[in-house]
Chains A and B, each alone.
Chain A
Amino acid sequence: DTGVSQDPRHKITKRGQNVTFRCDPISEHNRLYWYRQTLGQGPEFLTYFQNEAQLEKSRLLSDRFSAERPKGSFSTLEIQRTEQGDSAMYLCASSFSGRRETQYFGPGTRLLVL
């Protein structure tokens, strides 16, 4: 296992288009997180799953954003009708719940909306 992977690594799209990102967590991890990072800021929490269940969503996650983790393994994050303000790095992290939970981050998907 080489760690958390994300695909694609880079995405350029035009305003109004839909985009979908994928995250493959470390195989034994039951939690999966999505964060967004804009220039000069730290990562901001978007949502997380424990197994298949989406347990929390941030107010940052507008109705144009949807995330799924259908079989409790990989996850997808879809942004509909993209806006220029959606341009950011989208980070995925996974962990095993419990004491001393440690989140392991993927390399991120950099989105540019033109």
Chain B
Amino acid sequence: AQRVTQPEKLLSVFKGAPVELKCNYSYSGSPELFWYVQYSRQRLQLLLRHISRESIKGFTADLNKGETSFHLKKPFAQEEDSAMYYCALSGPNGNKLVFGAGTILRVKS
């Protein structure tokens, strides 16, 4: 079964602190992993994908196939990072996304 688990509903950190949003998945095969973000009053948008291996807005995520994890990290949180973050996966040929329940990141000043 395809499943994405985000164990934290809310993560609250101070500005400048490191951030790690956890994501674990189950998938029989080689999925593609994504992080989507939804800022207040905006639509859901792609933040990054594992095959790009890039840093977006200071965020990175490494796919760990052994632990079936794709945690999102940023060394120094900023207030504008406050948002809802969703981890998602799709099959190797694209099409439907399977989302986790999401984690609210709150960055306090």
Q: When chains A and B are docked, how far (Å) is the Cα of A41 from the Cα of B51?
A: 26
In the assembled complex, which residues on chain A have CB atoms less than 8 Å from the CB atom of B106? none
CB-based A-B contact count at 8 angstroms? 52
Contact across chains for B43 and A108 when beta carbons are under 8 A apart: yes
Contact across chains for B51 and A100 when beta carbons are under 8 A apart: yes
Q: When chains A and B are docked, how far (Å) is the Cα of A77 from the Cα of B34?
A: 26
From 62 to 109 in chain B, residues with beta carbon under 8 angstroms from any chain A beta carbon are 86, 88, 90, 94-102
Contact across chains for A42 and B96 when beta carbons are under 8 A apart: no
Closest CB in chain A relative to B34 CB, distance in Å: 9
**Interface status of A31 (Cβ within 8 A of chain B):** yes
Contact across chains for A41 and B97 when beta carbons are under 8 A apart: no
Contact across chains for A42 and B94 when beta carbons are under 8 A apart: no
Q: Which residue of A lies closest to B84 (CB)?
A: A42
Residue interface bits B1-33, CB-to-A below 8 A is 1, else 0: 000100001000000000000000000000000
**Interface status of A40 (Cβ within 8 A of chain B):** yes
In the assembled complex, which residues on chain A have CB atoms less than 8 Å from the CB atom of B101? 40-42
Residue interface bits B37-52, CB-to-A below 8 A is 1, else 0: 0000001111001011
Q: When chains A and B are docked, how far (Å) is the Cα of A95 from the Cα of B93?
A: 13
Give the total of B residues in contact with A, Cβ under 8 Å: 21
Contact across chains for A105 and B43 when beta carbons are under 8 A apart: yes
Residue among A3, A41, A48, A97 making CB contact with B96, cutoff 8 Å: A48
In the assembled complex, which residues on chain A have CB atoms less than 8 Å from the CB atom of B52? 100
Of the candidates B9, B44, B88, B102, the one having the most CB atoms from chain A within 10 angstroms of its own CB is B44
Contact across chains for A100 and B99 when beta carbons are under 8 A apart: no
**Interface status of A45 (Cβ within 8 A of chain B):** yes
Q: When chains A and B are docked, how far (Å) is the Cα of A44 from the Cα of B45?
A: 16
Given contacts A45-B97, A100-B51, contact A105 B45 (CB under 8 A): yes
Closest CB in chain B relative to A2 CB, distance in Å: 11
* Subset of 11 A-B contacts with CB under 8 Å: A40-B101, A42-B100, A43-B97, A43-B99, A44-B99, A45-B98, A56-B96, A103-B46, A104-B46, A106-B43, A108-B43
The interface of chain A, by Cβ under 8 A from chain B, is 3-4, 31, 33, 35, 40-45, 48, 55-56, 91, 95, 97-98, 100-108
